[in-house]
Chain A
Amino acid sequence: SSNHSPMAAAARFLLRGAGSKASIANVNIGDQSLFGITLLRLSPNCSSQTKTQRRNAAHFTYHPDPVPTEYGPTTKMNLFQSVTSALDNTLASDPTAVIFGEDVAFGGVFRCTVGLRDKYGKDRVFNTPLCEQGIVGFGIGAAVAGATAIAEIQFADYIYPAFDQIVNEAAKYRYRSGNLFDCGNLTIRAPWGCVGHGSLYHSQSPEAFFAHCPGIKVVIPRGPVQCKGLLLSCIADQNPCIFFEPKILYRAAVEQVPTEAYTIPLSQAEVIQEGSDVTLVAWGTQIHVLREVANMAQEKLGVSCELIDLQTILPWDTETVCKSVAKTGRLLISHEAPITGGFAAEISSTVQEECFLNLEAPIARVCGYDTPFPHIFEPFYIPDKWKCFDAVKKLISY
């Protein structure tokens, strides 16, 4: 499916170029996720930039989380390194755990499994044939037989061949057998979300397709600290989990991450920033967009925004979201995926049902359009901070 993708090629190029002194800015592959953090901090409306740089500027600014103090010593990690760290902790503590997928043996096209095969052996970290339905079916079987199975789908865009195995099999295994058999030890990881130039099949956010499927959990982190803690929770959870990794953050998001294992609970949203006028809900990279929107709203409108990272899409934390809306009376939900049938619709209708007397304006959804994810039109497609800011303005003046 994706063996000849530009993303994979870009990742491989960087692998070969690692450690060289060549200026990465001269490499015109247009992939800000692979560019490191410096370029990402450029303001998109800075007039001194060249056209090329402006086109490549990220649509978000990453703010590291506060350094966690409760889980022991920390190391500076980007998001892909925090994935590796979680996998490393798992293989070290669970002798049944295996990691498999397309190209994971040499370290993965996004470097998430680098070094693990050397450290834990080729029977524990191995390539599979190029076949997504096989990867998930194989993972289910290993989990049924008692192993901890960590499957990788190279891009979330290529998870659909495994849709049947996920929806009809993994999700229903425990229920249909009366709990005689289950595949609770299965975790499926997949790179997710837009990346600047990924076009139709290296940009997708398919979480809503899975949100309609009882029996699985769907989890998306916003940065390295959440990534490791939530991934370790998915691996330990006794239900099949899909863990989507925002690939634009693999290199861009860097912060202090605990080196030892720790978990962040599933099905719990996190209030990142408290506010009183509007509730903003998102997940993954979009959290960083909304964080900036909250600042803009404060500065330009004097509006106080409460920012919530949903973290788990299914089963989601209705309580935290409804509690916040009951306080603020206004809600904006934003996601990269198309609006129709997107997960914002589920949140919106639930909040409307639970907080009808508190709502002072219609709930706003700022999402991708109902089109495939385009290549050259990406800057116009994504629900960027200006679209979200405008929605906040309308919410307040309703």
Chain B
Amino acid sequence: LTSMLKFPDGALRQQPFDSSEEKPQFPGASAEFIDHLEFIQPNVISGIPVYRVMDRAGKIINPSEDPQLSKEQVLNFYQKMTLLNTMDRILYESQRQGRISFYMTNYGEEGTHIGSAAALDPRDLVFGQYREAGVLMYRGFPLDLFMAQCYANVDDLGKGRQMPVHYGSKDLNFVTISSPLATQIPQAAGAAYAAKRENTNRAVICYFGEGAASEGDAHAGFNFSATLECPLIFFCRNNGYAISTPTNEQYRGDGIAARGPGYGMMSIRVDGNDVFAVYNATKEARRRAVAENQPFLIEAMTYRIGHHSTSDDSSAYRSVDEVNYWDKQDHPISRLRHYMTARSWWSEEDERSWRKQSRKMVMEAFEKAEKRHKPHPDLMFSDVYEEMTPNLVKQKEAMWRHVQQYKEHYPLDAYAK
């Protein structure tokens, strides 16, 4: 006997009170009595299985799960993943040379970005953490604008106010990244609720790392999205580390996916290095989230191959062998390349030529961005409020009076006039 009822909108709700039945009547849960003491044991040894479509050699394991994407689509996946990789290498080096102040690479997680982004509708609103540049790349964010943000030059849509890699694009429905971890999670629930009320078949996707999932805001977002029935996909990038903290110091349950059912949320774990597994899971989660107005949780298992950021040296807390395994033997890019090669969709020559071309594209954008001025210093004062408050007008004027008098002590030449 179950007292959970399936309603026409797809939601499960508890049955109304009925005292005639010989069963627990507690309003807080729907369950039978048991007559012996037994604690529920977490299953962490044999956890939620990892969904996989192709093996490490790029071979489809179960043909019925093959998403059957066209050559054109697959090549696009590959080119976006490798273009992101090329941009990462160049910007990482540029930070090492002191040309930009900070950078975070996406090494090893390119498959999670591209696979999920491809399964979304371009109108779906994206909330991210900071290691999801591939989603923007897939949606067509120009290299010039990635560079403009990192250089904080006059072309930066964010007006040079945030640290590098804090991208945002209104046109591409990618909500501007902020540094505080997990704050975007309950926000995504609110946005999904608004999307549901608009009734325009839009979903919201929210990315976060397994470390961010320890924040109180993750709990808030999961619970709100379930109780308020929001068309939302939570996408957790479980890459094994939060800076230096390994997952066994982050949690003791079966990862993040195991938490989903506790919130009444449909959940799945996928191989994050398998772009097709990520694509399939996101596609189905999106379809159902919009149709049924309920949240889905996808935990993509992967490995953070690069350092946490340019301010981190990961050799201080993990072995080079461990990193090499994931870089050389189980990488989302090489796996997709195997798949393409087996179909004769990609040759050594294609690879050489694309590498050259993508490097040229990135370098051109890079050099262009470096030459541009920084935004006008007036932009320090706008957008604090929608309107410029009298107080801020006064402060802006005071700054200029000061800077005019002490010009030689300020880097005015680098800024737009």
Is chain B found bound to chain A in the same assembly?
yes
Complex CA distance for A181 and B170, rounded to whole angstroms = 7
* Contact status B125-A145, CB under 8 Å: yes
* A178 interface neighbour in B161, B384, B386, Cβ under 8 Å: B161
Complex CA distance for A142 and B192, rounded to whole angstroms = 7
* A147 interface neighbour in B161, B188, B194, B390, Cβ under 8 Å: B194
A108, CB-defined interface residue at 8 Å:
no
Residues of B within 8 A of A215 (CB): 384-385
Complex CA distance for A181 and B383, rounded to whole angstroms = 10
A140, CB-defined interface residue at 8 Å:
yes
Mark contacts of B216-236 with chain A using CB atoms, 8 A cut-off: 1 yes-contact digit, 0 otherwise. 110111011001100000000
* A137 interface neighbour in B169, B190, B391, Cβ under 8 Å: B190
Q: Which of A158-184 contact B (CB under 8 A)?
A: 161, 164-165, 168-169, 172-182, 184
Question: Given A131-B219, A142-B194, A178-B159, A137 and B186 touching (CB < 8 A)?
Answer: yes
* B186 interface neighbour in A133, A175, A177, A178, Cβ under 8 Å: A133
A96, CB-defined interface residue at 8 Å:
yes
Residues of A within 8 A of B216 (CB): 131, 133, 161
B168, CB-defined interface residue at 8 Å:
yes
Flag the segment in A19-27, A48-56, A121-129, A376-384 that touches B. Answer: A121-129
A289, CB-defined interface residue at 8 Å:
no
B157, CB-defined interface residue at 8 Å:
yes
* B178 interface neighbour in A123, A168, A180, A184, Cβ under 8 Å: A168
Q: How far is the CB of B127 from chain A (nearest CB, A)?
A: 8
* Contact status A318-B391, CB under 8 Å: yes
Question: Given A147-B197, A175-B161, A238-B386, A180 and B176 touching (CB < 8 A)?
Answer: yes
Complex CA distance for A138 and B186, rounded to whole angstroms = 5
Mark contacts of A95-107 with chain B using CB atoms, 8 A cut-off: 1 yes-contact digit, 0 otherwise. 0101000000000
Question: Given A168-B178, A215-B384, A178 and B227 touching (CB < 8 A)?
Answer: no
A239, CB-defined interface residue at 8 Å:
yes
Question: Given A98-B197, A215-B385, A315-B391, A181 and B186 touching (CB < 8 A)?
Answer: no
Most chain A Cβ neighbours within 10 Å, of B157, B228, B390: B228
* Contact status A179-B383, CB under 8 Å: yes
Complex CA distance for A318 and B395, rounded to whole angstroms = 14
* Contact status B190-A143, CB under 8 Å: yes
B183, CB-defined interface residue at 8 Å:
yes
> Which B-chain residue is minimally distant from A184 (CB atoms)?
B386
Mark contacts of A128-155 with chain B using CB atoms, 8 A cut-off: 1 yes-contact digit, 0 otherwise. 1101011011111111111101000000
Residues of A within 8 A of B159 (CB): 178-179
* B193 interface neighbour in A142, A169, A173, Cβ under 8 Å: A142
Complex CA distance for A221 and B216, rounded to whole angstroms = 32
Complex CA distance for A151 and B385, rounded to whole angstroms = 20
B189, CB-defined interface residue at 8 Å:
yes
- What is the interface size of chain A, counting residues whose CB is below 8 A from a CB of the partner? 48
Complex CA distance for A179 and B194, rounded to whole angstroms = 20
B158, CB-defined interface residue at 8 Å:
yes
* Contact status A178-B187, CB under 8 Å: no
Complex CA distance for A98 and B198, rounded to whole angstroms = 12
Residues of B within 8 A of A181 (CB): 168, 170, 175-176
Mark contacts of A301-317 with chain B using CB atoms, 8 A cut-off: 1 yes-contact digit, 0 otherwise. 00000000000000100
A214, CB-defined interface residue at 8 Å:
yes
* Contact status B383-A178, CB under 8 Å: yes
Residues of A within 8 A of B127 (CB): 141
B270, CB-defined interface residue at 8 Å:
no
Question: Given A137-B185, A215-B385, A176 and B178 touching (CB < 8 A)?
Answer: yes
A267, CB-defined interface residue at 8 Å:
yes
Q: Which of B281-310 contact A (CB under 8 A)?
A: none
* Contact status B186-A176, CB under 8 Å: no
Q: Which of B194-228 contact A (CB under 8 A)?
A: 194-195, 197-198, 204, 216-217, 219-221, 223-224, 227-228
Complex CA distance for A208 and B248, rounded to whole angstroms = 41
Residues of A within 8 A of B220 (CB): 129, 131, 133-134, 137-138
Question: Given A142-B191, A165-B186, A180-B176, A134 and B385 touching (CB < 8 A)?
Answer: no
B166, CB-defined interface residue at 8 Å:
yes
* Contact status A137-B187, CB under 8 Å: yes
> Which B-chain residue is minimally distant from A143 (CB atoms)?
B190
Complex CA distance for A241 and B242, rounded to whole angstroms = 34
* Contact status A146-B194, CB under 8 Å: yes
Q: Which of A278-318 contact B (CB under 8 A)?
A: 315, 318
> Which A-chain residue is minimally distant from B161 (CB atoms)?
A176
> Which A-chain residue is minimally distant from B196 (CB atoms)?
A123
Complex CA distance for A142 and B185, rounded to whole angstroms = 12
* A144 interface neighbour in B158, B190, B198, B384, Cβ under 8 Å: B190
Complex CA distance for A267 and B223, rounded to whole angstroms = 37
> Which A-chain residue is minimally distant from B187 (CB atoms)?
A141
Complex CA distance for A96 and B9, rounded to whole angstroms = 21
Q: Which of B382-408 contact A (CB under 8 A)?
A: 382-387, 389-391
* Contact status B187-A144, CB under 8 Å: yes
* Contact status B178-A134, CB under 8 Å: no
Residues of A within 8 A of B382 (CB): 179
Q: How far is the CB of A258 from chain B (nearest CB, A)?
A: 26
B162, CB-defined interface residue at 8 Å:
yes
Q: How far is the CB of B391 from chain A (nearest CB, A)?
A: 6
* B189 interface neighbour in A141, A165, A169, A239, Cβ under 8 Å: A141
Q: A141-B193, A142-B193 are in contact. List 17 more A-B contacts (CB 8 A).
A: A96-B194, A98-B194, A129-B224, A129-B227, A133-B217, A134-B224, A138-B186, A138-B228, A140-B187, A141-B189, A164-B183, A172-B178, A175-B383, A177-B158, A180-B176, A181-B168, A181-B176
Q: Which 3 pairs from chain A and chain B are nearest by CB?
A: A141-B190, A137-B186, A134-B220
**B residues near A, CB below 8 A?**
125, 127, 156-159, 161-162, 166, 168-170, 175-176, 178, 180, 183, 185-195, 197-198, 204, 216-217, 219-221, 223-224, 227-228, 382-387, 389-391
